[in-house]
Amino acid sequence: MRSIVWFRGKDLRVADHGPLVEAAASGEVIPLFVLDPYFFAPERARDLPHRMQFLLASLAELAATLAGLGSRLLVVPGRSVEVVPRLAALWQADQVLAHRWVEPFARERDRRVAAALGRDGVAFRCFEGETLLPPGSVRTGQDGMFRVFTPFARACSARLDLQAPLAAPRRLPPLPPGLPVETVAIPTVAALGLVPNPALQTGGEAAGQGRLRAFVDGALAGYGEGRDRMDQAGTSRLSADLKFGTLSVRTVWQAVAAAAAGADGRAYLNELLWREFSHHLLHAWPELLTQPFRPAFQGFPWREDEATWTAWVEGRTGYPVVDAAARQLLAEGFVHNRARMVAASFLTKHLLLDYRRGEAHYLRWLTDGDWAANSSGWQWSAGCGCDAQPWFRIFNPVAQGQRFDPDGAYVRRWVPELAAYPTACVHEPWKAPAALQAQSGYPAPVVVHALARARFLDTAKAHLGRPALLY
């Protein structure tokens, strides 16, 4: 049996890798990565600079690891739907093994690859592993999809019977002798026209394993409360590892479950179930990448306003948490979850700007930018998603800052103009002495909280009708 193991950017690891283990057990193995212009054309790569840097580093490490195991990663440019069937024929492969992706465009890619391979009699087998349970498999008693998180999480937990993660292979067979090898070097960040950003998380399986160990030995104890503190390193920072599969979600789940961390451990596993929920939603409703889950939000009268949009993007709204989030995003490709929620709520509710603009901006700059989690995070924040924050709940960015960044350390870090502000007014900088405000150069608020809140509620009520009809 000769197998192509097609690594595809969400499984950049050798541990807990079903396709690799299965291919190695059944004979010859050809590891393949396709540089599809869908992502790797320079003009496309420029749309995802931080993700690309993490991915390329992870890919380079994967290539080195596979070489160390006795094999070789073949990196081939071209459109997957053409390259994979062509190489399968050229290499006389019996099967192509890969991990399944949930996104609609990826499912279409796989459908076309499977059809083309099938015409040549080559099997295409997609393994589960992006999520804990196959998307679409967790269903209500009436065989429908869950629309509310808590019963979904309960049903998931009841069904979870996770095996131990698969060990990484100790050796792999060398490439079949006489194989007509086509391969190119893994591109550098610079070759794709991007400027390397040293502030990003380091990609790769080894770094991911290190982050997991550090979290389980450290911040996991206290996660239940610490996860909301923007000024503390109270979360796992594993989202990019889960996105690119440098760690499998099963590995993370099992490591945290084995730590027997009580309520903190349960709180963490619950977050992994939110990730799971977002993937199951996207599987059931692929249109979520472009449309609000709640039909009542169709045609919502979002404003067009470049001035406030630019202020939000650049971190100059005059609201410290919102501005810190904006600047952290651009600087290090990450934003604390609480700050994401506050910033997204501010964009959609205070500024009345379309959540899809914010969604696209986050997807562009987040290292963990993930279609399922990002779309559900934005729709949750805007109030138009499945089991979302109700539209009439509007975060007060000042109160959120005072509660979850009580000393102002988070906002001072990312908004240095606030460094000298007294803690008492660091989240309400307009209350600082006038001389300090003038000297700092920090902008005045682009909107007044109470007025912006009232404007959103009026607009939403007029568009959505009576809340009782909708929820």
Ligand X SMILES: Cc1cc2nc3c(=O)[nH]c(=O)nc-3n(C[C@H](O)[C@H](O)[C@H](O)COP(=O)(O)OP(=O)(O)OC[C@H]3O[C@@H](n4cnc5c(N)ncnc54)[C@H](O)[C@@H]3O)c2cc1C
Smallest separation, CB 373 to ligand X (Å): 4
Q: Can you read off the two tokens belonging to residue 219? A: 């911040």
Smallest separation, CB 101 to ligand X (Å): 15
Query: Which is nearer to ligand X, 74 or 351 (by Cβ)?
Result: 351
Smallest separation, CB 384 to ligand X (Å): 12
Stretch that binds ligand X, among 102-110, 301-309, 369-377, 432-440 (CB under 6 A): 369-377
Query: Which is nearer to ligand X, 227 or 316 (by Cβ)?
Result: 227
Q: Which residue has 């059944």 as its token pair?
A: 26
Phi, psi of 441 (to 5 degrees): 80, 5
Smallest separation, CB 121 to ligand X (Å): 39
Among 368, 387, 405, 417, binds ligand X (CB under 6 A): 368
Phi, psi of 270 (to 5 degrees): -60, -35
Smallest separation, CB 369 to ligand X (Å): 5
278 touching ligand X, by CB under 6 A: yes
Smallest separation, CB 90 to ligand X (Å): 37
For residue 56, what are the contacts with CB-CB under 8 A and spacing of at least 6?
A: 186, 187, 188, 189, 203
Phi, psi of 139 (to 5 degrees): -130, 160
Stretch that binds ligand X, among 137-145, 157-165, 374-382, 408-416 (CB under 6 A): 374-382
Query: Which is nearer to ligand X, 86 or 364 (by Cβ)?
Result: 364
Is residue 386 a contact partner of residue 348, using CB atoms and an 8 Å limit?
Answer: no
- Alpha helices by DSSP H, listed for 369-427, are 371-382, 397-404, 409-414
Query: Which is nearer to ligand X, 34 or 156 (by Cβ)?
Result: 156
In the beta sheet, which residues pair with residue 353? 303
**How many angstroms separate the Cα of 147 from the Cα of each of 6, 51, 282, 385, 387?**
33, 30, 12, 10, 6
Fill in the amino acid letter for 33: F
SS3 at position 124: strand
344 touching ligand X, by CB under 6 A: yes
365 touching ligand X, by CB under 6 A: no
Q: Residues 378 to 437: which contact ligand X by CB under 6 A? A: 378, 381
Query: Which is nearer to ligand X, 58 or 374 (by Cβ)?
Result: 374
Strands 28-35 and 74-77: parallel
Q: Which residue has 């404003």 as its token pair?
A: 303
Among 39, 127, 274, 430, binds ligand X (CB under 6 A): 274
Stretch that binds ligand X, among 133-141, 299-307, 336-344, 459-467 (CB under 6 A): 336-344
Cα gap 315→312, rounded to integer Å: 5
Cα gap 389→394, rounded to integer Å: 9
User: What's the DSSP call for residue 145?
Assistant: B
Query: Which is nearer to ligand X, 337 or 459 (by Cβ)?
Result: 337
Is residue 73 a contact partner of residue 66, using CB atoms and an 8 Å limit?
Answer: yes
369 touching ligand X, by CB under 6 A: yes
Is residue 294 a contact partner of residue 470, using CB atoms and an 8 Å limit?
Answer: yes
- Length of the chain equals 471
Query: Which is nearer to ligand X, 85 or 401 (by Cβ)?
Result: 401
Q: Residues 114 to 143: which contact ligand X by CB under 6 A? A: none
Is residue 130 a contact partner of residue 106, using CB atoms and an 8 Å limit?
Answer: no
Burial class (CB in 10 A: 0-12, 13-18, 19+), 284: middle
Q: Can you read off the two tokens belonging to residue 467? A: 């809340």
Q: Residues 233 to 272: which contact ligand X by CB under 6 A? A: 235-239, 242-243, 271-272
Stretch that binds ligand X, among 118-126, 145-153, 284-292, 371-379 (CB under 6 A): 371-379
Shortest CA distance to 262 belongs to which of 220, 212, 219, 228? Answer: 220
Q: Which residue is nearest to ligand X (CB)?
A: 377
Q: Within a 10 A sphere around the Cβ of 281, how many other Cβ atoms?
A: 26
Is residue 201 a contact partner of residue 243, using CB atoms and an 8 Å limit?
Answer: no
Stretch that binds ligand X, among 133-141, 304-312, 323-331, 339-347 (CB under 6 A): 339-347
337 touching ligand X, by CB under 6 A: yes
Q: Residues 183 to 242: which contact ligand X by CB under 6 A? A: 227, 235-239, 242
Smallest separation, CB 216 to ligand X (Å): 11
Query: Which is nearer to ligand X, 73 or 335 (by Cβ)?
Result: 335
Q: Residues 39 to 98: which contact ligand X by CB under 6 A? A: none
Smallest separation, CB 378 to ligand X (Å): 5
Cα gap 148→163, rounded to integer Å: 27
Among 13, 109, 340, 357, binds ligand X (CB under 6 A): 340
346 touching ligand X, by CB under 6 A: no
SS3 at position 180: coil
- Give the total of residues touching ligand X (CB under 6 A): 27
Give the residues lining the site for ligand X (CB under 6 A).
227, 235-239, 242-243, 271-272, 274-275, 278, 337, 340-341, 344, 362, 366, 368-370, 373-374, 377-378, 381
